[in-house]
Structure 1
Amino acid sequence: MEHVVPGALRRLRATDIISMAGLAAATRGQEYARLDAVQATRRDDGRLSGIVEIAASSASESGPEEEDAFSFPEPDAGSHYVTVELQGAMQWQSSCTCEAPSTALCEHAAALLYEWLAHPGLFRTLAAQAAMGNRPQKERLQDLVNDAAAAQLPTSKTPREKPSSRTGGAFRPILPPQHTLVQVGGMRDILPQLGISELRSIARAYAITAGNMNKPQLIAVLLEQVARPETVKKVAASLEKPLRQFLAAITLYGSAIPDEELRALYDRFSLGQPAHYQQALVSLQSEGLLFRTSLNSVSLARGALGSGQLEIGWFVPLEVRAALKVTVPMTPYTLPAGVQEGSERDDQPRVRSMEPLRLLSELLLLARLLDGTGLDEESAWLDFSDTLLAEFTGTTRASDGSFLLQSTSDQPPESLIARLRERLPRSRAFLRFALRLLRGGNMLRRADGDRNRLHIADSLAEKLLGEAQVQEAQELFMLWLKHSSIDELLGLREDGVDLRCRANALHQPVLRMGELEIENSEARQLLVSLLAQVTPGQWMHFGAFARFVYRLNPLFLQRRQRYFASPHWWLERQDDKPLKPSQFKDWQRAEYHYLAALIQGPLYWWGICDIVSAPDGALLAFRLTPLASWLLQGNGVPGELERGRRRRLTRLLVVVDAQEVLVPAHPAAWNLIKVLERFAQAMGIQRSYLRYRFTPQALSKALRAGEDTNALFKILHLLVQRQPELADALAQVTARLERLQKSYGQVRFYTHVPLLEVADQVVMRELEATTSLHEVVARPLSETMALLHEGGATRLSDELKRRGSAPLVHEKDNYEA
């Protein structure tokens, strides 16, 4: 039973240590653990013990700037024996020879807990010590000699590498010499970690005569060979077909794959008899195409390995991945006869494609629709700048106490989505996706003067449609790819799949902060990286692709949960039956729809893929567009983007009346939009058009900023040449703008002292005849100047603007000459 780790230790996280010890003590304890100061670690059930050895030189590992920033007290050099017993959440008992107050964990106890998180396999149990005591004395003495010799070696290791004297014990894996564990990386890092016999085996695969070469010489020759892609391809091509398929599957898997999962992958692809599995691994290792590593050091859930044992994984080195360029096997899809893009017949599949970067135009339309919108009680979702702080809402099931996750507090309310759909008819999923992008990209925020109203940046149109559109698209795509949320998981409810997790006695979900969000983000990135290996431009059968994903990695959505004896969260049918992703029928109910929603939703909206869907909406096939090589693989910007900007639109401008015009939200119309942004007032949207109104306020602001109206009149003149049918309407617009410009500055108001000044007596008489000037004048100062009552300047200014004039208002402390 000593090998069974109690739940309190398995659920321990770094944030728990900070809560128990405080930030200062936890930070110093983490530094002690990093510097290998924790020695002689042991575990007795849930009690951890060890010695924290602090050298005098470890008082300050940082430079002067870091010392000024953190100003921690100097540690006491010496040894401190510490024990910690975790009894539950935020419940512990600890003792330490440093005699720190017992109200919180001391820095030495924090170091012991951080050591447990980083290296649980190094903590000996009573059973391990008993086994060591029963060994022959000769073997025990030999171990002591080896440990002492290792301690005398120069300490050229990094702080994270453990001395050999601490790798003994019951949890040390017994590996044959040819199974050296190496760090994940490239061959330049891998080869020095191998023995000379392993290097010679790889050299034979590359037709290198090792002869009397020593290890450095052999490594240099091997590095020269693996740097040539054609040589690596030749070595891989010499393998038998099942081995080539096995290597390709491991490469497509992505990161390091656990040994247990690799065996299952071998079986799912039916690559050979189970007895041949080990021989396949040895063959790939001897060719230098596959290496073993410890998964305890890669990005897995901390403390998830409940047994505390070292887990072995496998990976393909970077040079081999780059040389082979493995692609996903394709099952071509042929469009039925007569099916064309845009066809809406109910009895035929529908082919849909998204114009490149059309998503950015849609974001601008949505932002303009939201600008100035009152939020009232719907504004809570805007307050979560960090999605990991969002709260879950749902219900608890009485039978097993599990919690049904229904929504999060950072999601836009359905009432807001319904209002938006009335003006911008888009799917609910797209509107939620777009709102997430707008908020994550800091393009949507509360207004400064009114916290219950939304406001967008003045330069948003330039960011989304201007010359920097390509760069903005890349940044937004990476933001979406890496952002943490559970939107996709909650979207499975539309397919009859619920998201559940464990709950405590208070009917609250028992999940670590960000656990669901991070797993969902990792699944999204894994699928996108796999899609990047699909051949572009060819229709691919989605059902066959989904089947391949299942055989390759059925646990892509719940990869971390396999490390727990009892999963923290799971998916189940709405009839309360949990789904097991290892079974294909259950996988089709959840992960299949997750994959389809990713392709039909975000990837289609980004313009990365075209899709073919059945009349009922089910995804039939997809193909990658040229944007996929740019966004997914980092290749050059495709020419489609520049051709889209030079596209000749059928209707570049729609004139509503002499005051209002409509412009399509398209990068091809950016030159016109850029001018309207300077001289007109944005008034929201109408269908897929941006609305602009020529108002005295907007023109006054432009003239006050030094803008030249010739640019506006010039582009209106060019529009008449391009759209002759607009000649009369644009003539009225031009005449109105000329009147506004002519009246600009003839009437001036000063806000610091309520003062009115006009150009001449004619203007003064016109004001007396058309406005309530006589009611607000406190005292005439001259024939062209008058002192006004308090608030009179604002009243007269509003009256003149309503009549189409453009008065000049001098703000306080900013008067013009």
Structure 2
Amino acid sequence: MPTLVQSLKKHDLGHLRILAQIWGVELSAGERKRARDELGEKLLNGALVAELIEALPVDAAQALKALLQNGGRIPWAKFERQFGEIREVGAGRRDREEIYLAPVSAAETLFYRALLARAFFDHPNGAQEFAYLPDDLLGIIQGEGKATRPAKSLGRLARPDECAHISPATDHLLDDITTLLAALRLGWDEPPFGLETSLRFTRDLLPAARLIIDGGELQTDSIKIFLETERSEALNQLIRIWRESEMINTLHQIPTLICEGAWVNPVLDTRKALLGFIENIPKNKWWSLRSFIADIKKAYPDFQRTAGDYDAWFIRRADDGVRLRGFGHWDEVEGALIRYFIVGPLYWLGLVDLASTIEKGGETAFRVRGKLVEGKEKDSEKINLNSSGQVIVSRHVARSVRYQLSRFCNWEKSNNPDEYRYQITPSSLERAREQGLKISHLLGLLRKFSAVDIPPSLSRALQRWDANGTEARVETMSILRLSKPEDLEMLRKSKAGRFLGEVLGPTAVVVQAGASSKIMAALIEMGIFMKDETDK
């Protein structure tokens, strides 16, 4: 962005003297260029900048804060809509009426203090006019901690009824990622049972964390490192990845919205803005979610629409397909985004606790945690195993153990959220064998991590299957029973005989699947009616 001196080039000498008067500095130069250079030198003083900002009215301080939160510039139309206009007057009226002493808006206050200028900058959609803070002043303000008015927290403390039922943050996201990775390794698109967090959010984390690449290829080395990383450090890594990744588009994850078309939303800038609002909230205090959203709407409604354009994005409501176009749908888009941001990613990443007025009701309050969740995998925690091949794995068992074990088993639904249930079956063992896994590997896992010794019958069954494959099976078949042995012999010699299978006795034989009608026709030709018990 332009510097202070560059921003002053279009102003006349009278305007420069007004700036000197408001800043409280002497301006000795009598020629515009020299006066501009002199003023630029004197105003770039950290202590003087801090003093000027400290004296700003509240509305002007909020306008300055908005500029700082947006990297020093905001589209002019958006800035003017939020912080007011700058009157276009000639030098004569300006000096005669001294309008700079009674500004009509926050924007005009900053303008007559050299804290606001306007210019056209390049933009993906073409040149666009911006309100901006001169670059060197921006650097001074950002470098002086006391130069900006302390940020006011948006929203209010939650009432007792708003936090009656508490849902503390967890690190269960780590377990969901383990589950999803194991499912993908087995060739499934998703786990057979739902996740505790969000399948969409968890799936979006995987490529951002480089656990999968190229549209789904698993990175086995990266997965091994992740699964063996201590839980608190693994969660910290995910938080850093989520903060910095443009691949994770929070707006597109909201289940109530459908985003379509080629438009692009500012993923990182939006996340940074929302985190900035949340960082101003006192730690470990219950905060009203509704009032927080309402205050953002009032003070910073365009936090994700940098141009203030509410018509360009094609977003539909998921339940009825209605297009959410215009500022009138702010609550359904921006409001929904803020709510999802807090009760979704921030909660799943262990950064906030949630609360509601009723048990298992909609969230009404949140609490920014002073420290992260500290979940631990317990070395002493073992898996439970019985002689029928059922395996129960606690959440506290090392994630790498569950990931490996789940590849040998069928997955079963568990009613206990802190355990995972699996069943060893011939089909699950065959699937594991096709992926290059060995029974010796499974036996090694069970010996090392089971709470009890492997039941001898299960050990023998696994070793026999390894040597001989499946030795017993249950089948569903159709059986034809005739009253006389000679009728069966005649049927076997007929054209329909090719549809008969294994002979089970003098008057009983297996009928091939789907061949009942052909057998019935052949029997009628023999003068025999057949009753099909399978035809219900």
Q: TM-score when scaled to structure 2?
A: 0.60
1:622 aligns with 2:390: no
Offset, 1:372 = 1.0
1:443 aligns with 2:211: yes
Kept in 1, the 8 Å contact 2:75–2:306? The answer is no
User: 1:547-581 CA deviation, whole Å, 9 max, x = no partner?
Assistant: 22222343445555739xx7463557978876564
2:242 to 477, 488, 497: 477
**Residue 352 of structure 1 is aligned with which of 152, 167, 174?**
167
Matched, 1:537 2:284: yes
1:284 aligns with 2:127: no
**Number of aligned pairs?**
424
Matched-pair contact (CA < 8 Å) for 1:571–1:590: no
Match of residue 547 from structure 1: 294
The 1:604–1:254 alpha-carbon spacing in structure 2 relative to 1, beyond 3 Å, is farther
Q: What residue identity is the alignment partner of 1:622?
A: F
> Counterpart in 2 of 1:487?
252
Check whether the contact 1:653–1:662 (CA below 8 A) recurs between aligned residues.
no
Residues 603-628 of structure 1, C-alpha deviation per residue, up to 9 Å, x if partnerless?
221222222234484332222223xx
Q: Which residue of 1 aligns with 2:154?
A: 329
- Identify which of 195, 215, 220 aligns with 1:457: 220
Partner SS for 1:622: strand
Match of 2:265 in 1: 518
Indicate how the Cα distance of structure 1 residues 618 and 295 shifts in structure 2: closer, same or farther if over 3 A, else same.
farther
2:467 counterpart residue number: 799
For residues 288-330 of structure 1, the C-alpha deviation after alignment (integer angstroms, 9 at most, x for no partner) is 5x22242432xx4424x7xxxx624234824425532524333
Deviation readout 1:436-466 (Å, 9 max, x if unpaired): 22245443479xxxx9x98662652531451
- Which amino acid is the alignment partner of residue 235 of structure 1? L
Alignment partner, residue 229 of structure 2: 466
Q: What are the Cα deviations for residues 658-713 of structure 1, in whole angstroms up to 9, with x where unaligned?
A: 888654445xx54xx66x5899785466655568999996586799xxxxx9x999
* Closer/same/farther in 2, CA of residues 529 and 458 from structure 1, 3 Å limit: same
Contact 2:356 2:362 in 1 (8 A): yes
Aligned partner of 2:234: which letter? Q
Which has the higher relative contact order, 1 or 2, with Cα contacts under 8 A spaced 6 or more apart? 2
Q: Does 1:365 align with 2:94?
A: no
1 CA distance for matches of 2:403 and 2:325? Answer: 58
**Residue type of the partner of 1:238?**
A
Q: CA deviation at 1:733?
A: 7.8
Deviations 1:327-346 (A, max 9, x none): 43331112239x6xxxxxxx
C-alpha distance in structure 1 between counterparts of 2:350 and 2:183, whole Å: 23
Q: 1:735, CA displacement in angstroms? A: 13
CA contact (8 A) 1:481 1:525 kept: no
| 8 Å Cα contact 2:356/2:364 also seen in 1 | yes
Which residue type is aligned with residue 644 of structure 1?
A: G
Q: Which amino acid aligns with 1:423?
A: F
Q: Does the CA-based 8 Å contact 1:571-1:579 persist in structure 2?
A: yes
Once the two structures are superposed, residues 762-812 of structure 1 have per-residue CA deviations (whole angstroms, 9 ceiling, x without a partner) of xxxxxxxx99xxxxxxxxxxxxxxxxxxxxxxxxx9418999xxxxxxxxx
Q: 1:654 to 1:536 in 2, by over 3 A?
A: same
Deviation at 1:596, TM superposition (A): 1.6
Partner of 2:489: none
TM-score of the pair, normalised by structure 1: 0.42
Aligned to 1:423: 193
TM-superposed CA distance for 1:527, in Å, is 3.0
Matched, 1:594 2:329: no
Contact 1:359/1:605 (8 A) holds in 2: yes
Distance 1:477 1:425, change over 3 A: closer
Which moves more between the two structures, 252-261 or 189-198? Answer: 189-198
> Counterpart of 2:520?
none
Q: In the superposition, relative to structure 1, how do residues 613 and 246 fare at CA in structure 2: closer, same or farther (>3 Å)? A: same
1:235 has 2:52 as partner = yes
How far does the alpha carbon of each residue in 1:706-752 deviate from its partner, in whole angstroms, 9 at most, with x for none? xxx9x999x87xx9xxxxxx5xx24x589999x9xxxxxxxxxxxxx
Which of 71, 78, 84 in structure 2 is aligned with 1:261? 78
Looking at structure 2, the residues matched to 248 and 522 of structure 1 have their Cα atoms a distance apart, in angstroms, of 15
Deviations 1:53-87 (A, max 9, x none): xxxxxxxxxxxxxxxxxxxxxxxxxxxxxxxxxxx
- Counterparts in 2 of 1:335-734, with a 5 A limit? 335-336=160-161, 349-355=164-170, 357-374=171-188, 420=191, 422-424=192-194, 426=196, 430-444=198-212, 457=220, 459-467=222-230, 469=234, 472-478=237-243, 482-484=247-249, 487-488=252-253, 491-493=255-257, 511=261, 513=262, 515=263, 517-518=264-265, 523-556=270-303, 559-560=306-307, 562=309, 567=312, 569=314, 581-583=326-328, 586-615=329-358, 617-626=361-370, 638=371, 640=372, 643-645=374-376, 652-657=381-386, 662-666=392-396, 669-670=397-398, 676=401, 682-683=407-408, 687=414, 688-689=418-419, 726=451, 729-730=452-453, 732=454
Aligned to 2:501: none
Change in Cα spacing, 1:203 to 1:653, as seen in structure 2 (3 Å) is farther
Deviation for aligned residue 1:526: 3.8
Which amino acid letter does the alignment assign opposite residue 311 of structure 1? Answer: E
> Does the 8 Å CA contact 1:540/1:622 hold for their aligned counterparts?
yes
| Alignment-derived partner of residue 782 in structure 1 | none
Specify whether residues 482 and 537 from structure 1 end up closer, same or farther in structure 2 by C-alpha distance, changes over 3 A only.
farther
Distance 2:195 2:406 in 1: 24
Contact 1:488 1:594 in 2 (8 A): no
Residue segments in structure 1 that go unaligned for 5+ positions in a row = 1-181, 184-188, 269-274, 340-348, 376-415, 501-510, 627-637, 704-708, 720-725, 740-769, 772-796, 804-817
SS in 2 for 1:367: helix
Go from structure 1 to structure 2 and tell me whether the alpha carbon gap of 1:253 and 1:591 turns closer, same or farther (over 3 Å shift). same
Distance 1:622-1:284 versus aligned 2 partners, 3 A rule? same
Secondary structure at the counterpart of residue 166 of structure 2: strand
| Change in 2 beyond 3 A, CA 1:540/1:276 | farther
Contact preservation (8 Å) 1:364, 1:464: yes
RMSD over equivalenced CA pairs, Å: 5.3
Residue by residue over 1:397-442, the C-alpha shift from the partner in whole angstroms, topping out at 9 and shown as x without a partner, is xxxxxxxxxxxxxxxxxxx5xxx3x534547xx1122122224544
In structure 2, distance between residues paired with 1:561 and 1:280: 18
The residue type equivalent to 1:799 in the other structure is: A
Do 1:483 and 1:521's aligned partners in 2 also have CA atoms closer than 8 Å?
Answer: no
Unaligned segments of structure 2, at least 5 residues: 86-100, 472-536
Separation (CA, whole Å) in 1 of partners of 2:226 and 2:177: 11
Residue number among 313, 316, 321 corresponding to 2:131 in the alignment: 313
CA-to-partner distance for each residue in 1:99-155, whole Å, 9 max, x for gaps? xxxxxxxxxxxxxxxxxxxxxxxxxxxxxxxxxxxxxxxxxxxxxxxxxxxxxxxxx
Distance in 2, Cα, partners of 1:734 & 1:238 = 82
Q: Which moved more, 1:536-545 or 1:676-685?
A: 676-685
**Which amino acid in structure 1 is aligned with residue 193 of structure 2?**
R
CA drift of 1:653 comes to 1.5
Q: Give the secondary-structure state (helix, strand or coil) at the position aligned to 2:354.
A: strand
1:401 alignment partner in structure 2:
none
In 2, Cα distance between the equivalents of 1:485 and 1:539? 24
DSSP 3-state at the match of 1:644: coil
Residue-by-residue CA offset, 1:372-412 (whole Å, 9 max, x unaligned): 1356xxxxxxxxxxxxxxxxxxxxxxxxxxxxxxxxxxxxx
1:186-201 equivalences in 2 (<5 Å)? 189-191=3-5, 194=8
